[in-house]
Amino acid sequence: MVTLEDARRIIAAAEKKAAEIGQPMNIAVVDGGGNLVAHVRMDGAWIGSIDISIKKAWTSRAFDITTQDLATHSQSGGQFFGIHASNEGKVMVFAGGIPLKKDGKVVGGIGVSGGSGEQDSTVAQAGEAAF
Amino acid sequence: MVTLEDARRIIAAAEKKAAEIGQPMNIAVVDGGGNLVAHVRMDGAWIGSIDISIKKAWTSRAFDITTQDLATHSQSGGQFFGIHASNEGKVMVFAGGIPLKKDGKVVGGIGVSGGSGEQDSTVAQAGEAAF
Amino acid sequence: MVTLEDARRIIAAAEKKAAEIGQPMNIAVVDGGGNLVAHVRMDGAWIGSIDISIKKAWTSRAFDITTQDLATHSQSGGQFFGIHASNEGKVMVFAGGIPLKKDGKVVGGIGVSGGSGEQDSTVAQAGEAAF
Amino acid sequence: MVTLEDARRIIAAAEKKAAEIGQPMNIAVVDGGGNLVAHVRMDGAWIGSIDISIKKAWTSRAFDITTQDLATHSQSGGQFFGIHASNEGKVMVFAGGIPLKKDGKVVGGIGVSGGSGEQDSTVAQAGEAAF
């Protein structure tokens, strides 16, 4: 279970980190079914990243993996190359999505988009740490 | 302009009304470009209404009209019947979406989904009033 | 939670009923997140109903309602007319989808497609009763 | 012809192998028309792999080839690079899909998704062997 209260705490921590590094972000949280619980777009964040943040969160839950790790298997020549064409284009294979775990079990995901892959990851990690 | 701070104030007012009437809701706010600023799904709200709340907000901005009013023109026999097939399915023609205005100009939209048409409208109005 | 074992028991009961009424069916079961647990197409059942059965199951979970009841609100003039255009076309507004409940809470859905609305409903009810 | 009885025998064999290697899987079987006959998601298997398993089965039938073999031609620089963008995104170009043959003729396909490429292939082979 990821409640709306959980999602807000996660998003608040991610926003704080985004402000610290000076990069406005889209931040999304999904529950165990991969369904959106909450999303925010910080003022000035890219509008093309609304969709990406939501899909990164979904991807992390859908495959129980960070999208950064998934990326390493999904490049040309990798064992999962082509996975980005599945699920109606919902699979994001670049950094910024992290599974949310409780007692070792994946129960949701956070997705962040709006900066470089490293920035997105840093902000997502801050969010995840607040879960 | 609809800032994230605006969106949060609007959502807070809508959530308060939803709690009062005892119906958990999805609530979404879009800016003047029709792009999502924030979304929340209250605990227990329908997962099928995530998409609908976002699209109601978009529709209200896209046509500068409440989705309830748009509905009256979009039934079979009406002048806009079939509009729901346009815009890749983003046009919602039932109550719950309201334009957000500043100085008489539409600058965004709120969309609510999770109950009857009347409940959705009531909650959306509470949100709009907080803008 | 709807386990694969649950889904198989539900499907077996639905298949038995379909055989009794002499109409081969597509039968699908989704979990609480709306995600498919299992699907079967009985020999001779319509191939166009594969998709419909899965989407009826999803719809019942997504809105906590039978698709037969949703139909009554989704006709032209009804409060939910146009809902079939939402969720990328996943909302089915005709009979054959029933929520699966545990302790009064919706935790999944069954969807049946392959015959008349009445036949689909009858088979779905038989499946639901086995949960 | 791939009957539902065939599909169940194939799936049972694949499930047995998946249990042996300790990796829960999505398993799908399609018929000669590429249309789904049956799908199961084992408890704990990735929800993002529902779609992939069905599309791997389709791909194997659609091109009369294992998706592992198709992968070798579909990487950047290969003769089929870009094929994953065709057919509305239904073409999966990574291991886990195998054609089902009868008297040397392809009459269906099995698709498995939920682990590494090697695991998916191993489980799909076990399923195919039961046909």
pLDDT digits (tens, 9 = 90+) for B84-112: 999 999 999 999 999 999 999 999 999 99
Instruction: Report how far residue A56's alpha carbon sits from residue A38's, in angstroms, rounded to the nearest whole number.
Output: 13
Token pair belonging to A113 = 């988009």
Chains touching A, CB cut-off 8 Å, 3+ pairs = B, C, D
Contact B89 C86 (CB under 8 A): yes
Q: Provide residues of C within 8 Å CB-CB of chain D.
A: 3-4, 7, 33, 35-43, 47, 50
**Residue type for C96, please?**
G
pLDDT class of B77 with cuts at 50, 70, 90: very high
Q: Mind giving me the DSSP string for chain A?
A: ---HHHHHHHHHHHHHHHHHHT---EEEEE-TTS-EEEEEE-TT--TTHHHHHHHHHHHHHHTTS-HHHHHHHHSTTSTTTTGGGSGGGT---SS-EEEEEETTEEEEEEEEESS-HHHHHHHHHHHHHT-
What is the pLDDT at residue A52?
98
Give the residue from chain C lying closest to A61, CA to CA: C33
Give the residue from chain B lying closest to A47, CA to CA: B35
Q: Mind giving me the DSSP string for C69-121?
A: HHHHHHSTTSTTTTGGGSGGGT---SS-EEEEEETTEEEEEEEEESS-HHHHH
pLDDT class of A126 with cuts at 50, 70, 90: very high
Contact C88 B46 (CB under 8 A): no
Closest approach of chain A CAs to the CA of C31, in angstroms? 8
Q: Are strands D105-113 and D26-30 parallel, antiparallel or unpaired?
A: antiparallel
Chains B and A touch (3+ CB pairs under 8 A): yes
CB atoms within 10 A of CB A46: 16
Chains D and C touch (3+ CB pairs under 8 A): yes
Q: CB of B52 within 8 A of CB of B113?
A: yes
Rounded mean pLDDT of D98-122?
97
pLDDT digits (tens, 9 = 90+) for D10-47: 999 999 999 999 999 999 999 999 999 999 999 999 99
What is the pLDDT at residue A113?
98
* Gyration radius of chain B's alpha carbons: 13
Name the E strands within chain B: 26-30, 36-41, 97-102, 105-113
The per-residue pLDDT of chain D, averaged, comes to 97
ipTM surpasses cut 0.90: yes
Instruction: Report how far residue B103's alpha carbon sits from residue A102's, in angstroms, rounded to the nearest whole number.
Output: 48
Inter-chain contacts counted by CB atoms under 8 A, chains A and B = 38
> Minimal CA–CA distance to D28: which of B64, D45, D19?
D45
Share of chain D above pLDDT 90, in %: 99
- Which one of D46, D85, D94 has the shortest CB-CB distance to A62? D46
Contact list in A for residue B57 (CB cut-off 8 A) is none
What is the pLDDT at residue B114?
98
pLDDT class of B61 with cuts at 50, 70, 90: very high
Q: Are strands C105-113 and B97-102 parallel, antiparallel or unpaired?
A: unpaired
What is the pLDDT at residue D75?
97
pLDDT class of A22 with cuts at 50, 70, 90: very high
pLDDT class of C81 with cuts at 50, 70, 90: very high
pLDDT class of D104 with cuts at 50, 70, 90: very high
Contact list in C for residue A34 (CB cut-off 8 A) is 33, 35
Mutate to test the interface with B, among C80, C86, C87, C105 (most CBs of B within 10 A): C86
Contact list in A for residue C32 (CB cut-off 8 A) is 33
Quick check: helix, strand or coil at residue B111? strand
pLDDT digits (tens, 9 = 90+) for B10-38: 999 999 999 999 999 999 999 999 999 99
- Which one of A33, A35, A43 has the shortest CB-CB distance to B4? A43
Q: CB of C81 within 8 A of CB of B94?
A: yes
CATH label, D4-129, candidates 3.30.750.200, 3.30.450.150, 3.30.465.10, 3.30.429.10: 3.30.450.150
pLDDT class of C23 with cuts at 50, 70, 90: very high
> Minimal CA–CA distance to B106: which of B51, B66, B52?
B66
Q: Provide residues of C within 8 Å CB-CB of chain B.
A: 33-34, 58-59, 61-64, 76-77, 79-83, 85-91
What is the pLDDT at residue D2?
98
What is the pLDDT at residue D112?
98
What is the pLDDT at residue B69?
97
Give the residue from chain C lying closest to B85, CA to CA: C85
Mutate to test the interface with D, among C25, C39, C47, C61 (most CBs of D within 10 A): C39
